[in-house]
Structure 1
Amino acid sequence: MENPVPGFARSTELANRLHEVVPGGAHTYARGDDQYPEGMAPVLERGLGARVWDVDGNEFVEYGMGLRAVTLGHAYAPVADAVREVLSRGVSFTRPTRLELEAAEDFVSVVAGADMVKFAKNGSDATTAALKLARAATGRDMVAVASQPFFSTDDWFIGTTAMTAGIPADVRDATVRFTYNDLDSLRALYARYPGRIAAVFTEAATGTVAPAPGFLEGLRELCTAEGTVLVFDEMITGFRWATGGAQEAYGVVPDLSTWGKAMGNGFAIAALAGKRELMELGGLNTDADRVFLLSTTNGPETVGLAAFRAVVEAYRTTDPVATMRRQGTRLAEGANAVIEEAGMRDHLEVAGHPNCLVFLTRDASGQPSQEYRTLFLSEMLKGGVLGQSFVISAAHTDADVDRTVQAVSDALPTYRKAIELGSTAGLFEGRPVAPALRLRAAPRRR
């Protein structure tokens, strides 16, 4: 028996109410309903494993998993149990708890490049703290960031995106970009701004681009030679490429690294970690002018730390990274097989690291297309699959993967029709999705 086509009446009603009280209708731009086909943006009620249910009663296999934060599955019992247990003992105090010590010791035991760690609640705070440390340590003002989508919500990075409103020009000018996997592009920045670059920020790898042979090693050597602090953003790679992140997977150790997302399997916790001589600039074991590093009321609250410790234990006793790799590989191979069989590989493809897959949607001429992305998202939702990507978790079962491959197969006739017509007109409702970070609300102006 075929699954019924989901309806979204209640979700649409609640989404409209959200827009009345929350700018953009969501607390994260990537979660906005402008990222989904109009009238098909589920408002969720609950999740278990790799499945979620919305307010209309629809059940979906979910990908992205909390914007890549959930690697062990929704409501993963050992994490949930650890949080329930700690709730009975209080969550916030005026002095450090033993849990803070134990969590910090856990962290430095699994991250090779961490002599010390400081916890926070979101990754942007950690990345901005890393930049502040680098500026204090070097006495320089500028930062070079790799040509990758996102590092922080703070002005020093958002000023490099299309959404620059409210950010002074001098702040924007202090951040410059280089091309990932191109050391010469970074050397050119050093030549252009001699003695000014305090830090280099990069994701060591992304879902779609791996480091070229020698790139990370060359980056490490160049930053050392130039007296620049090398920072790895491990928000996505941490606990997904390996327990110890990309620095473990590729064997290159940065000066500082920033963490979040999978650390808490969805619970709010982030971290700044790195070399002792840098981290102590925000502590008491220094004669230098002190850096106001991370000082947050909620950074050390016990819920996030308990969740983190349970995550570490899960990674010590099981192998979520290997499970994600196996199931991601199975999904990519299965989806690409049905796409290939349909002769559609020039227009639709599942690509990237097995633990961080994306789907690539192209139009009749083979160019990336938001309209065709909207069409594919629409067809996948009809097939019971929710996600802006195919980022997997260790909770995705064979049945989840099989259902997803079937949904891809079922989407192909409609996608083929659009290719043959050279247009998606009439094949989905409303306006196309749009990039989350864009200058204007159009094309999804409400």
Structure 2
Amino acid sequence: MDTEATEELRLPRSRQANERLHAMIPGGAHTYAKGDDQYPENLAPVISHGRGAHVWDVDGNRYIEYGSGLRSVSLGHAHPRVIEAVRRELDRGSNFVRPSIVEVEAAERFLATVPTAEMVKFTKNGSDATTAAVRLARAVTGRPRVAICGDHPFFSVDDWFIGTTPMSAGIPAATTELTVAFPYGDLAATEELLTRYQDEIACLILEPAGHTEPPPGYLAGLRELADRHGCVLVFDEMITGFRWSEAGAQGLYGVVPDLSTFGKALGNGFAVSALAGRRELMEWGGLRHSGDRVFLLSTTHGAETHSLAAAMAVQTTYVEEGITARLHALGERLAAGVREAAAGMGVGGHIVVRGRASNLVFATLDEHGQPSQQYRTLFLRRLLAGGVLAPSFVVSSALDDADIDRTVDVVAQACAVYRKALDAADPTPWLVGRPVKPVFRRLA
């Protein structure tokens, strides 16, 4: 076998750190998508620090990083405007027995940035926000069922969603039975579902856009269906928020949901997310109504001042520096380069770049054109060896043209190996270990 196939990046300190992680933390990480099973065997770098679009592992290797913080660090690591805002608040205290004035300022800033919402409540993670939206919809409608978009991969760590995945251990079937699914882009199928469960579905929850743009009239059609069937329309804007526009997908496409949830890019890595929506619904979780109270969101750390300061700095930076447009420009340059490199090496039909330019992912297809974890492993291994850490091609605004050009060069080298594996109709010799695994699977 040629040396190119056997060449291996060695990460001894990262391997030791991974062993320590697994000894104390179930799964070896606090997020399943960050697990070492998502990377080639013995090639899961443990990060020391990051700055801008680059990260360094504990072995001293530097990488150009994509998908930073599972899409959350969209401005790049240690962004100066965000860090300055956070430091200013840290010296003033981070959590008090009563709301701080920062909570007022953060809410005002958010509602000015996302004018389609009338009220907002902050929390620390996206799952809390989406579950609060579901609970509120059930309370407002008096209905038990939740309709999720079955084409979107993740909504919450809570039972109402996780029970529908292969990792449903520990979740009662009675809970899962209350969650039903509808296909993205198919209004007729969604109406059939709403009719089948007439007066039972509390809400429709979906990402307003994903790897493809919504079909013309689709989101407006969902809005009409929700109104006609008396259910709540919820947009999960964890990913689309800020990356599609400063006001999210709802601001870009002009369709206003009843409730929406934001996170990820909102804090540039700091823990903050939001539930936003119509005052009429949101007040059910407040004190200024005469009905039954809804336990909407009440978290000890939900309004830590430094995280809210980070969110305000992020929104200001996006608006003043045109970050969304920059993300699209960088993504377009990267997508064009990767497609050209793949085509040049004869694998254009096997390494496929998908998604909006600000939120690119890639698929690795085998010799039959089917998605392949083995070929993904080969591709990731070659990217890592070239100093590119890329579980996706989701860009941050800290990347520059030189980073993109370097990435494309590394992709071209990876494509050359990919072509050899396709010609052999067997990628196994290039894996050097077990293949990467999907996050959602029944057995460890």
TM range (shorter): over 0.9
Partner residue of 2:199 out of 189, 195, 199: 195
Task: Give the CA deviation at 1:7.
Answer: 2.3
How far has the Cα of 1:245 moved from its partner?
A: 0.5
Q: Which residue of 2 aligns with 1:171?
A: 175
Describe the superposition over 1:10-64 as per-residue Cα deviations: whole angstroms up to 9, x where unpaired. 1011001100000000000000000000010000000011000000000000000
What does the per-residue CA deviation read over 1:218-272, in whole Å, with 9 as the maximum and x for residues that have no partner? 0000001111000000000001111110001111000000111110000000110
State the shift of 1:85 in Å: 1.0
Structure 2 counterpart of 1:264: 267
Deviation at 1:351, TM superposition (A): 2.0
- In the alignment, what sits opposite 1:344? 347
Structure 2 Cα separation of the partners of residues 5 and 266 of structure 1: 31
Alignment correspondent of 1:280: 283
* Equivalent residue letter for 1:160: T
SS at match of 2:198: coil
Tell me the residue number matched to 2:157: 153
Residues 346 and 419 in structure 2, CA contact (< 8 A), matched pair in contact too: no
Which whole-Å CA distance do the structure 2 matches of 1:348 and 1:102 have between them?
Answer: 45
1:413 deviates by 1.7
Query: Contact 1:6/1:58 (CA < 8 Å) preserved in 2?
Result: no
> Residues 5 and 383 of structure 1 are in contact (CA less than 8 Å); yes or no, is this contact kept in structure 2?
no
Match for residue 253 of structure 2 among 231, 250, 253? 250
Once residues 5 and 99 of structure 1 are traced to their aligned partners in structure 2, the CA distance between those partners, rounded to angstroms, is 50
The alignment status of 1:27 with 2:27, answered yes or no, reads: no
* 1:342 shift after superposition: 1.8
User: Structure 2 counterpart of 1:54, which letter?
Assistant: D
Q: Does structure 2 retain, via aligned residues, the 8 Å contact 1:112–1:253?
A: no
Checking the alignment, whether the CA contact within 8 Å between 2:65 and 2:389 is kept in structure 1 is yes
The structural deviation recorded for 1:5 is 6.6
Report whether the alignment pairs 1:328 with 2:325.
Answer: no
Give the TM-score taking structure 1 as reference length. 0.97
Distance 1:301 1:142 in 2: 33
What secondary structure, in the 3-state scheme, does the structure 1 residue paired with 2:357 have? Answer: coil
Residue 144 of structure 1, aligned match among 142, 147, 159? 147
CA contact (8 A) 1:202 1:231 kept: yes
In 2, the alpha carbon distance for the partners of 1:385 and 1:132 equals 41
Q: Does 1:104 align with 2:139?
A: no
Q: What is the aligned counterpart of 1:47 among 34, 46, 50?
A: 50
Amino acid of the structure 1 residue aligned with 2:337: G
Per the TM alignment, residue 352 of structure 1 is displaced from its structure 2 partner at its CA by 1.5
CA RMSD of aligned residues (A): 0.9
1:344-393 Cα shifts (integer Å, max 9, x gaps): 11211222110011111001111110000010000000111002100001
Q: Map 1:327-406 to 2 at 5 A.
A: 327-406=330-409
Cα distance between partner residues in 2 of 1:181 and 1:422: 36
In the alignment, structure 1 residue 122 sits paired with structure 2 residue 135: no
CA–CA separation in structure 2 for the residues paired with 1:261 and 1:43: 21
Pick from 222, 225, 230 the counterpart of residue 225 of structure 2. 222
Match 1:180 to one of 178, 184, 205 = 184
For 1:93 and 1:139, locate their aligned partners in 2 and report how far apart those are by CA, in whole Å: 35
1:112–1:247 contact (8 Å) kept in structure 2: no
- Is 2:410 the counterpart of 1:426? no
Structure 2 residue runs without a partner (length 5+): 1-6
Give distance in 2, aligned partners of 1:77 and 1:414: 39
Residue 93 in structure 1 maps to residue 96 in structure 2: yes
Contact 1:49 / 1:395 at 8 angstroms: preserved in 2?
yes
Alignment partner, residue 299 of structure 1: 302
1:113-159, Cα deviation, whole Å (9 max, x unpaired): 21000000000000000011101100000010002100000000001
Q: Tell me by how many angstroms 1:327 deviates.
A: 0.6
Task: Give CA-to-partner distance per residue, 1:51-78, whole Å, 9 cap, x none.
Answer: 0000000000000011000111100001
C-alpha distance in 2 between matches for 1:127 and 1:292: 13
Rounded Cα–Cα distance in structure 2 between residues aligned with 1:155 and 1:113: 29
What is the rounded CA distance, in whole Å, between the counterparts of 1:351 and 1:405 in structure 2? 16
Match of 2:4 in 1: none
CA distance in 2, matches of 1:257, 1:191: 24
The answer for the alignment partner of 2:20 in structure 1 is 17
Percent same amino acid at aligned positions? 56
Paired amino acid for 2:440: L
Q: Take 1:236 and 1:326, find their aligned partners in 2: how far apart are those partners?
A: 18
The answer to whether structure 1 residue 314 and structure 2 residue 312 are counterparts is no
Name the counterpart of 1:444: none
- Where structure 1 has 5 or more consecutive residues not aligned to the other structure, the ranges are 442-446
